[in-house]
């Protein structure tokens, strides 16, 4: 029966008891709904959602950025609050007593529009007391919701991996090996896919590692930041015998000079190794010099082919007649006897016959005074492109002088 007190309705003791039980059941049901619907926390800058690897740049900052979605059965009674806690632990499946509370806050009704998703910045120092940031390893993050009735619900775990160590550690990677030390037109004709490089194996290979590899001309840059764009960035597919290709469309337009190849290793956390040691390769492309004639020494004409003392005093030169397929950067190198003269660059508009002067000290040093008489001297010309010879020819002259000292 109802008892009327003034204008208010008062429940009988039995009705009040029933109402309290219904209220507690409703609160309890809210907790069960909350547990069923609690989402995993979201963390910014996870580079691999399958294992929770964090971008290494997170550890260069000051906080771990966490986002919580609005949970089901959010508090609605004015003035009441849901309290949430964020917990952190070492390991993938830690025990409950392994978690440390690293953040707590409340959401009070009425909940303002825009409160969710809830963004939280957890200082890195809170994740590793006594240290500026967590060490490399596997961690777990969760959050708990405590309702006004003190019922607490725990979210599923989020696995996180902290990795700040580049592939191979912090040491310089080994030099790449190539399937040639010289890049010529003949090599490109026989290898239409380009140059193949093989990476040295390293101990801590993991899936997701990549290699950025470079084709670098001279002069070499002072620092890695000044390198040109990489030829490619590809997966390091396995723990051993990994190869990369320098395609013809990249290397085919190279100048005739020394080039270098180098690489960085990069893991999925974006840790980058130091730059590898450079591997040198000499380049000489295009058609090679052809139709070479023997070098001429005008002062040693047939039939004697002899240079005497007056000739030596006049000055001796070696003449190179016109030939096919020369390049402005080709150099003519003359060897007089055993003395290699300084190479002379052809230039854009060479004058043929191309003249190479034999220095007087070379004439003197190559003549053996103690022997005297006619002394055969071999004259060799070599066409050099980059750092290697691409063609050559030779002739023999005789030097006769009791003292070949010009002047």
pTM above 0.85, yes or no: no
Query: Residue 5: what pLDDT?
Result: 39
Order across the sheet with 210-216: list the strands: 182-184, 279-284, 258-266, 210-216, 232-235
Per-position pLDDT tens, the chain of length 407: 334 334 445 667 676 656 555 555 555 555 445 554 789 999 999 999 999 999 999 999 999 999 999 999 999 999 999 999 999 999 999 999 999 999 999 999 999 999 999 999 999 999 999 999 999 999 999 999 999 999 999 999 999 999 999 999 999 999 999 999 999 999 999 999 999 999 999 999 999 999 999 999 999 999 999 999 999 999 999 999 999 999 999 999 999 999 999 999 999 999 999 999 999 999 999 888 999 999 999 888 777 778 888 887 888 999 999 999 999 999 999 999 999 999 999 999 999 999 999 999 998 899 888 888 888 899 999 999 887 787 788 888 888 755 444 44
Q: For 352-372, give one letter per residue: b (16+ CB within 10 A) or e.
A: ebbebebebebbeebbeeeee
Question: Of 162, 143, 140, 167, which Cα lies nearest the Cα of 58?
Answer: 162
Alpha-carbon gap, residue 298 to 377, rounded angstroms: 14
CA end-to-end span of the chain? 144
Q: What is the predicted pLDDT for the residue at 394?
A: 83
pLDDT at 7: 42
Q: What is the pLDDT of residue 6?
A: 44
**CA–CA distance, 267 with 47 (Å, rounded to integer):** 10
pLDDT at 59: 96
Rounded Cα distance between 138 and 39, Å, is: 21
Q: What pLDDT is attached to residue 35?
A: 52
Tokens of 398: 């005789």
Scored b (16 or more CB within 10 A) or e, 315-347 reads ebebebeebeebbebbbbbbbbbeeebeebebe
242 DSSP assignment: E
Q: Which of 218, 290, 287 is nearest to 255 (CA)?
A: 218
297 touches 316 (CB < 8 A): yes
Strand partners of residue 53: 48, 161
pLDDT of residue 50: 96
């Amino acid at each position: 029966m109802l008892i009327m007190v003034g204008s208010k309705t008062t429940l009988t003791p039995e009705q009040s008891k029933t109402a309290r039980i219904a209220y507690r059941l409703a609160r309890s049901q809210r907790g069960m709904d909350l547990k069923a619907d609690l989402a995993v926390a979201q963390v910014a800058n996870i580079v691999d959602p399958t294992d929770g690897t964090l971008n290494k740049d997170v550890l260069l900052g000051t906080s771990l950025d966490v986002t919580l979605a609005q949970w089901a059965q959010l508090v609605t009674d004015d003035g009441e609050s849901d309290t949430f806690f964020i917990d952190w632990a070492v390991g993938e499946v830690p025990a409950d007593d392994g978690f440390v509370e690293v953040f707590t806050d409340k959401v009070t009704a009425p909940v303002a529009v825009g409160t969710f998703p809830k963004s939280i910045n957890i200082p890195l120092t809170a994740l590793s007391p006594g240290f500026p940031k967590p060490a490399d390893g596997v961690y777990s993050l969760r959050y708990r919701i405590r309702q006004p009735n003190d019922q607490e619900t725990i979210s599923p775990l989020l696995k996180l991996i902290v990795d700040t160590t580049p592939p191979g550690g912090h040491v310089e990677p080994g030099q790449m090996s190539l399937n040639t030390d010289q890049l010529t037109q003949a090599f490109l004709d026989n290898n239409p896919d380009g140059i193949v490089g093989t990476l040295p194996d390293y101990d801590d290979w993991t899936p997701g590692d990549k290699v950025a590899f470079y084709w670098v001309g001279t002069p070499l840059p002072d620092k890695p930041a000044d390198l040109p764009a990489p030829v490619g960035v590809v997966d390091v597919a396995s723990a051993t015998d990994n190869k990369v290709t320098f395609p013809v469309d990249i290397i085919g337009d190279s100048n005739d000079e020394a080039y270098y190849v180098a690489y960085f290793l990069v893991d999925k956390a974006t840790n980058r190794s130091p730059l590898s040691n450079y591997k040198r390769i000499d380049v000489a492309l295009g058609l090679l010099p052809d139709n070479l004639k023997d070098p001429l020494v005008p002062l040693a004409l047939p039939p004697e082919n002899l240079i005497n003392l007056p000739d030596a005093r006049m000055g001796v030169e070696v003449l190179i007649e016109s030939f096919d397929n020369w390049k402005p950067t080709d150099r003519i190198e003359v060897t007089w006897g055993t003395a290699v003269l300084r190479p002379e660059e052809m230039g854009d508009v060479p004058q043929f016959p191309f003249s190479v002067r034999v220095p007087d000290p070379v004439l003197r040093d190559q003549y053996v005074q103690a022997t005297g008489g006619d002394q055969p001297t071999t004259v060799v010309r070599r066409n050099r492109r980059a750092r290697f010879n691409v063609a050559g020819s030779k002739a023999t002259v005789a030097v006769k002088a009791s003292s070949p000292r010009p002047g």
